[in-house]
Structure 1
């Protein structure tokens, strides 16, 4: 291709890109699209709040039962108060309820565990030196807690006092150094952020392509501009929309710590990348660009092959499953840096951007990123080159049949 043809192709591609970008950004529904993560977060928060409320109500209804005489419950209550201070609000065992044993405490305990009044996780009866503990399904921890209480009471009785034997002096130290756990958490965030952004924005590409396919707009573009330029222009146009989306939400995310309570903001401060915030932000943007170009080109090819909405859905499902597989491999790489799965995820083209973003969060070394970026640029160029050819076949169904032979001149 000569330099003049290359310039003409790029100019035509940028014309298509500008058209797609303006048509998408200045559409009335773009604001809804831009704020759609708020709806997702809202629905997720509502669902999580409902689930946590149900779980909390179930925990509040649960209880432990100790069958003992009324005058013997005081040491058990004291031991329960001492041990319960080791648990947080969400991890605390159910409250203890005392009941008077009848003539057959074993049968009484079995009836409490299996009764319809329910929510009795475990029952203790008998002498505390050799207690009998019955417990229901998934109540192993509650049974162990009752056994520990019995042990504590017996030890207290042998010592002759329930007073603490030591008085600790507790001093809280503010941690400013980011730990390995903080780096790993940042790596997980990076993987999920690239995955969600790519999945969300690539869906916009395939939807736009299918819509123009149904409206016959793509045929009009093909009549005026080479299809390779149409493919590249659409990819660049949707990429511009993606950058606008990421820039908007990146700005919002950078200011969110100022809106959080001090305790939560201090906790988020412990989640930081090993490569440094500025360098990590730059690498994250580069790897998002690589991931979007790879998957965006693939989705654009799928959109060109589909002629109906049903075909579009059937074709996009395998691609979504591939993305789920890539995020699973990259998550494993983020949790185990330097492992064989981390190397495989970094080498495989479609998982490499997410795996290397996790690498930037886990390690301060920068030289692997230069190799990874060159490797991903190679695959982006390969996918775009092949995509342009497949895009042409899908749009106009050209190149699939046999070529026509040139007509032979008639002989005299």
Structure 2
């Protein structure tokens, strides 16, 4: 390593350490670190409120069967047998049986106006040709009443109770990941990188604009090459992001051990094609590339903007572009061999997301070497372009106006 390269590395790391310390060792960083708790608390409060309203409404919902006294017990027994096939959150509304009045059709219509319960669907008439009325969201309840009528009629015609089957259930452990498990792993990988970069990379944009306003950047640019300043700031903010991810990764890892068995089994189905340890390494590598790519773009934006309003105006199109890259990569994750997947894997800003999904869908490792090199090249390009725009647009002219304002003035 020659002297110039050593000096460049030392200068870059100095800038990175300076920005890392200036960000982490402040009280505001604690608010940033615990921001997920604050957002999660508001979300939990809203969710519990909505759930309580939904539960209160669902407690009064019923499916109604207008049947004779002789049929009331068989249909209740059939309901008990069929209801055992559903999960609690998927089960149909509770069954309510009513004795038929003089006009069952009118009685069925009046059932929807009852104050003690909310009828979702009402059955009346003979069980072999029943009539079923249902409300706007009662189509599935009507289907359940149809099945219930058939089950009851079968038991009646047999004259005896239906035989109770006691199966022997054997849990099977897959020897290899299923296709659906790979697709789910791919989607969660894409979403995880998208969420982390969207949440963490936005702080990069304000660092350059802040130091440009207080004239610190001119001092740094006089002593250190602008490329080293840009890369150092990017690495410093990436260190902050790693601290954030490490903290919350540890917390989530401890909480995941307390998950109930069904949730743990569902997570166990998320089996990437390259294997768990290799997938974790590739996820970390692609998160790094996604952060550096987006962060370098944000740095360039921050270098051109001189006020927070301009930063917000320029950051919005980048965020919209990032959401578009997430949509493109999600489509690629569900169709790994399509042209959409190839486009997402090649385009620089979507490549980290798409290649993380590729790792879940394909066991081949060599494409990741090429992809990481390709993404690293674009990080260098974005940093170089951002530094040149800042050097030519701000420092060389001695003007604080960004390039679009000067172009308009000319």
TM-score range normalised by the length of the shorter chain: 0.7 to 0.9
State the alpha-carbon separation in 2 of the partners of residues 205 and 91 from structure 1.
Answer: 45
For the pair 1:28 / 2:24, whether they are aligned, the reply is no
- SS at 1:29 equivalent: helix
Tell me the equivalent position of 2:170: 172
Deviations for 1:321-372, whole angstroms, at most 9, x for unmatched residues?
1111111111122222222222221111111101111111222111111221
State the alpha-carbon separation in 1 of the partners of residues 64 and 78 from structure 2.
Answer: 15
Q: Residue 302 of structure 1 contacts residue 316 of structure 1 at CA under 8 Å; is this kept in 2?
A: yes
Pairwise CA distance, 1:262: 4.5
Tell me the equivalent position of 1:138: 137
State the alpha-carbon separation in 2 of the partners of residues 393 and 112 from structure 1.
Answer: 77
- SS at 1:121 equivalent: strand
Aligned-residue CA RMSD (Å): 2.6
Tell me the equivalent position of 2:355: 356
State the alpha-carbon separation in 2 of the partners of residues 277 and 151 from structure 1.
Answer: 48
Q: Residue 121 of structure 2 contacts residue 141 of structure 2 at CA under 8 Å; is this kept in 1?
A: yes
- SS at 1:66 equivalent: strand
Pairwise CA distance, 1:8: 4.3
Deviations for 1:69-117, whole angstroms, at most 9, x for unmatched residues?
3443112111111111111111111011122333332233223335676
Against the structure 1 CA distance between its residues 130 and 211, is the aligned structure 2 distance closer, same or farther, given a 3 Å change threshold? same
State the alpha-carbon separation in 2 of the partners of residues 183 and 41 from structure 1.
Answer: 28
Deviates more, 1:190-199 or 1:210-219: 210-219
Q: How does 1:177-326 map to 2 (within 5 A)?
A: 177=175, 178-326=177-325
State the alpha-carbon separation in 2 of the partners of residues 280 and 23 from structure 1.
Answer: 33
Against the structure 1 CA distance between its residues 238 and 102, is the aligned structure 2 distance closer, same or farther, given a 3 Å change threshold? same
Against the structure 1 CA distance between its residues 51 and 286, is the aligned structure 2 distance closer, same or farther, given a 3 Å change threshold? same
Pairwise CA distance, 1:283: 1.2
Pairwise CA distance, 1:289: 1.4
Pairwise CA distance, 1:190: 1.3
Against the structure 1 CA distance between its residues 330 and 94, is the aligned structure 2 distance closer, same or farther, given a 3 Å change threshold? same
Pairwise CA distance, 1:214: 4.0
State the alpha-carbon separation in 1 of the partners of residues 34 and 388 from structure 2.
Answer: 35
Pairwise CA distance, 1:26: 1.3
Q: How does 1:2-13 map to 2 (within 5 A)?
A: 7-13=6-12
Tell me the equivalent position of 2:120: 121
Tell me the equivalent position of 2:384: 385
State the alpha-carbon separation in 2 of the partners of residues 230 and 188 from structure 1.
Answer: 35
Deviates more, 1:239-248 or 1:73-82: 239-248
- SS at 1:238 equivalent: helix
Tell me the equivalent position of 1:83: 82
Q: Residue 60 of structure 2 contacts residue 117 of structure 2 at CA under 8 Å; is this kept in 1?
A: no
Against the structure 1 CA distance between its residues 53 and 174, is the aligned structure 2 distance closer, same or farther, given a 3 Å change threshold? farther
Deviations for 1:350-397, whole angstroms, at most 9, x for unmatched residues?
111011111112221111112212221222222222122223356547
Pairwise CA distance, 1:139: 1.2
Against the structure 1 CA distance between its residues 294 and 105, is the aligned structure 2 distance closer, same or farther, given a 3 Å change threshold? same
State the alpha-carbon separation in 1 of the partners of residues 120 and 393 from structure 2.
Answer: 62
Q: How does 1:32-51 map to 2 (within 5 A)?
A: 32-51=31-50
Q: Residue 301 of structure 1 contacts residue 394 of structure 1 at CA under 8 Å; is this kept in 2?
A: no
Q: State the aligned residue count.
A: 399
- SS at 2:120 equivalent: strand
State the alpha-carbon separation in 1 of the partners of residues 105 and 92 from structure 2.
Answer: 23
Deviations for 1:256-312, whole angstroms, at most 9, x for unmatched residues?
443334453344233232212221122112111111111001111222222222222
TM-score, scaled relative to structure 1: 0.88
Against the structure 1 CA distance between its residues 28 and 118, is the aligned structure 2 distance closer, same or farther, given a 3 Å change threshold? same
Deviates more, 1:99-108 or 1:25-34: 99-108
